[in-house]
Amino acid sequence: MACKFYFAPKLSDQRDKHGRRMISYPCKICGSRINRPTSDSSCSNLNKHAATCLRKQNESKGHKSLAGLGIKGTGDINPQEVNQLCAVWCAEAARPFSALVEESHKVLLHPTIKKSLPGRRTISRDIHMLYSAIQEEYKVILKAHTGSLYLGVDAWQSPNGFDILGTVVYRLAKDDSGEIKLEAMPLDFIWLAHSHTGEYLAQTVSLVVEKFGIQDKICGIVSDNASNNKVMVSELKKKKWARFKGETHWIRCFAHVLNLIAQAILRPFGSQKKSKTTNQSGSVPLDDSEDLGSGDEEEDAEEQIQLYSQGADESSLFHEDVDESDNESIAQNDQEETESLSLDDIENASDEDDSDAYTTEGCKQTLAKFRAIAKKLRYSPNSKDQFRQICRDKGCATPHTIERDVRTRWNSTHSQLISIIRCEDAILEWQRHKRHGVDRKYYLDQSDFNLARHLAEVMNIFYEITLQISIPGSARLSNIVIFIDQITEHLSTAISGTKYPPALRNACRVGLKLTNKYYSLTDMSPLYRIAIVLHPSFHDEYFKLANWEPKWISEAIRLTREMWVANYKPKPITPPTSSAVVANKPKTGMLAGLGSAAAARGGHSSTDPLDIWL
């Protein structure tokens, strides 16, 4: 029976233990040769091999891959690649390692992956191995990079309570098609084991930069406006990196600046500050009521991690649920910054009157009332159901909910104001419900709704700009000055007009003063002006449209030329010494006329790329 699975036997070159040549049986199924001693007449081994080949052949016929049927893009999965695929899957979206082995997830997996699923410890080890391998490769890429590099630095607290410092390098690089694109690559994530002082942050950042050997290519650092970051920049200046000159090359996060200005405008109408003590009158602040459910600090920490979707709409960028305890130090720095300016610091304040639509005194707790209503609806399912029913009866636009206002989620105040305006009719009826409404001290009146409408109009520009600069790849340094000019014009119009009551005009004055402060800080860094000059739509024309003084425009061009000459201008090509010198013939006719015209405009045409650009 075994003979039908094999070709005619041949004398093999292999020898048995006695030194005699063996007989080779070529298998008809797999093509391999089975060598047997001439003294062994048993067919058991031949039958066993034939049975194994038959089983494998039947299995391959019963399980056809999509690639075998002609469907492209469905290549077979190599079991040796499963560990790497699983490590990347967990790392890209910060998924828990245990998610891999969940039964509901395993149903979706390819059979090859199911058989080779790694454990949690293996995944953790593989992620470190991948990072180490890519790190060494990226060091070579950065070493070969000839342009400037910019560093992004930010600190935050992970859901399990660890303080992390992330460092990202930004550079211009060519993609696979040869086009230039902006590349953002994380360099390292460091666990901060000590207090976040500027000196400690500078030491940590320096270690990362020097590990990759890019200290002489760093041209700027991007971070928020926290005071410890200012100290960090000063300490890094002492490192004497070739291109980094300290605070002049410090780029302040503009989204953070926008939030500071917005909070300065909102502060007279209700602070986000959490008070642990009672006020002078002995009453408890509105935000500290105990009848509105548990605090936001009890949120599920896993909600901090959200998978960014490229197809998400604008609202989803700022509506993920996060723990308010996150970034507590940043929130504290924001509070100190905005509290340093108050209504007492502004000049030419408008006088308020009791006949105004609302006053600062009458609406100093309005935003706190809005947050109290949002918290009540969030933690009371019965109140939420009752509120939605009233919204349907009143014909309010959807969604029938009041958005949360969270300190560490920018644009959330604007979203809450819009939801208050949208559900105004329902709120007026629902808030008086004995069982499902709120306490009387949280009742809203017409002045609160008037303030909400006006604040939404004033805050809209901050909402739109924050959305624009928060889209990956859309933020540009050249736009910062333009954005500040837009905000300045917007707030100045609100202050000079009569559309808004004095209370809001005075609040806008506080915001304008803070805007001017950060506008003046852009003068400390040449990067903003250089970015405008190099913008293909601006050049030096924007300065003229913005009525800049001629000496300011000349200074911006000088700074641009200085950076061009120092870092980017190609070295001149020396002509061969043996080349013959050809005498220039005198120009006649039209060439002479063109030369005269060029001389009349200020000399011969320049071959300098910067002159041509301008």
Half-sphere exposure of 265 (CA within 13 A, CB side): 31
Residue 51 has pLDDT above 90, yes or no: no
pLDDT reported for residue 496: 92
pTM for this one?
A: 0.72
Residue 280 has pLDDT above 50, yes or no: no
263 CB-near residues (< 8 Å, 6+ apart) = 272, 334, 338
Residue 325 has pLDDT above 70, yes or no: no
DSSP 388-431: HHHHHHHTPPSP-S-----TTSTTHHHHHHHHHHHTHHHHHHHT
pLDDT reported for residue 271: 62
| Range 24-47 average pLDDT | 80
pLDDT reported for residue 230: 92
Give the confidence band of 286 by pLDDT, cuts at 50, 70, 90.
low
- Give the residue, 600 or 133, on which the prediction is more confident: 133
Highest-confidence segment of 111-115, 241-245, 586-590: 241-245
**Domains identified in the chain and CATH numbers:** 2-63 (no CATH), 145-251 (3.30.420), 256-273+322-473 (no CATH)
pLDDT reported for residue 307: 36
Tell me the pLDDT of the chain averaged across its residues: 80
420 CB-near residues (< 8 Å, 6+ apart) = 370, 373, 402, 427, 444, 449, 452
Nearest in space to 293 (alpha carbons), one of 381, 380, 405: 380
Q: Note the pLDDT tens digit of each residue in 199-210.
A: 999 999 999 999
| Range 538-544 average pLDDT | 87
Q: Note the pLDDT tens digit of each residue in 91-123.
A: 888 888 888 888 888 888 888 888 888 988 899
Whose tokens are 């199924």? That residue is 29
pLDDT reported for residue 344: 65
Q: Note the pLDDT tens digit of each residue in 326-337.
A: 444 444 555 545
Whose tokens are 């009525």? That residue is 547
pLDDT reported for residue 372: 93
pLDDT reported for residue 205: 96
Q: Tokens for 370?
A: 């809005």
Would you tell me the crossing angle of helices 366-379 and 446-470 to the nearest 10 degrees? 80
524 CB-near residues (< 8 Å, 6+ apart) = 247, 248
Give the confidence band of 611 by pLDDT, cuts at 50, 70, 90.
confident
514 CB-near residues (< 8 Å, 6+ apart) = 260, 261, 264, 338, 341
Alpha-carbon separation of residue 549 from 74, 516, 542, 586 (angstroms): 63, 18, 12, 42
Residues paired with 183 in a beta bridge: 171
Give the confidence band of 15 by pLDDT, cuts at 50, 70, 90.
confident
Residue 373 has pLDDT above 50, yes or no: yes
Give the confidence band of 525 by pLDDT, cuts at 50, 70, 90.
confident
- Residues 149, 214 contacting (CB under 8 angstroms): yes
**How many other CB atoms are found less than 10 A from the CB of residue 576?**
5
